[in-house]
Chain A
Amino acid sequence: DTGVSQDPRHKITKRGQNVTFRCDPISEHNRLYWYRQTLGQGPEFLTYFQNEAQLEKSRLLSDRFSAERPKGSFSTLEIQRTEQGDSAMYLCASSGLGSYGYTFGSGTRLTVV
């Protein structure tokens, strides 16, 4: 197992375009989290899945954002009609039952121009 994988590592997009990011968690982890991190700040929680169920969404997750985890394995985060304020690092983390740890991926850095 190679840990949590995120793709792409970097994405540059024009304002108004849609983007989609992918996260592959550690295979035995049933919980998956998305965070957003802007420059100089700590990660901010966006949403959380347990298996395929989306159990919690932050108020930061506006209606332009949608996340899925269709088979309880990988997850996608889509941002529609991107805005310059969406420029950030998007981090994915996973955790498993009986474990206190959260393993993070290397993140996807989004730049909206």
Chain B
Amino acid sequence: AQKITQTQPGMFVQEKEAVTLDCTYDTSDPSYGLFWYKQPSSGEMIFLIYQGSYDQQNATEGRYSLNFQKARKSANLVISASQLGDSAMYFCAMREGPTNSGYALNFGKGTSLLVTP
């Protein structure tokens, strides 16, 4: 069964507007971490933001924020003030187990974001 579900294969947003990319996850482990990565056409995976399962507040990193709704098992990425350079694939990922477990990340299938002028 899919542990990470990203239901939006593609999204469009106009420059300077905000956009929300959806992610739901499935785990029975009380300790886990949620990640968002950006992958431009060049291929590298760029870390954007992290949310630990015990973190009380939603994570924010500059224009990126993570809308963490634990009961709904969702971890949506919000990008504010979109820029043309934000056009890329975005992946949601989860590490099950505590931080030092070393467990590998499980990734969703990704959402392709296109920012238009």
Contacts of A44 in B (CB 8 A): 107
Which residues on the B side are within 8 Å of A93 (C-beta)? 45, 105
Does any Cβ of B come within 8 Å of A89's Cβ? Answer: yes
Complex-state Cα separation, A98 to B99, whole angstroms: 7
Docked pose: A91 CA to B106 CA in angstroms: 14
Distance of A97 Cα from B35 Cα, bound (Å):
17
Q: Does A72 contact B (CB under 8 A)?
A: no
CB distance from B105 to the nearest CB of A (A): 6
Cβ proximity bits A94-113 to B, threshold 8 Å, 1 near / 0 not: 01011111111111010000
User: How far apart are the CA atoms of A91 and B4 in the complex, in Å?
Assistant: 19
List residues 30-69 of chain B with CB under 8 A from any CB of chain A: 33, 35, 37, 42-47, 50, 52
Asked whether, in the complex, the Cβ of A42 is within 8 Å of the Cβ of B108, the reply is yes
Do A56 and B43 form a contact, CB below 8 Å, given A42-B110, A100-B33? Answer: no
For the complex formed, measure the closest distance between the CB of A93 and the CB atoms of chain B, giving whole angstroms. Answer: 8
Question: Once the chains are docked, how many angstroms separate the CA of A40 from the CA of B105?
Answer: 18
Q: Is the CB of B42 within 8 A of A102?
A: no
CB distance from A105 to the nearest CB of B (A): 7
C-alpha gap A59/B64 in the complex (Å): 35
Give the docked Cα–Cα distance between A33 and B45 (Å): 13
A44-B107, A89-B43 known; A50-B91 Cβ under 8 A: no
Determine the chain A residues whose CB is within 8 A of the CB of B44 once the complex forms: 104-107
**Which residues of chain B are within 8 angstroms of A43 by Cβ–Cβ distance?**
45, 91, 105, 107
Please give, as numbers and ranges, the residues of chain B lying within 8 Å of A106 by CB-CB distance. Answer: 42-44
Question: Nearest chain-B residue to A42 (Cβ)?
Answer: B107
**In the complex the two chains form, what is the Cα distance from A85 to B103 in whole Å?**
26
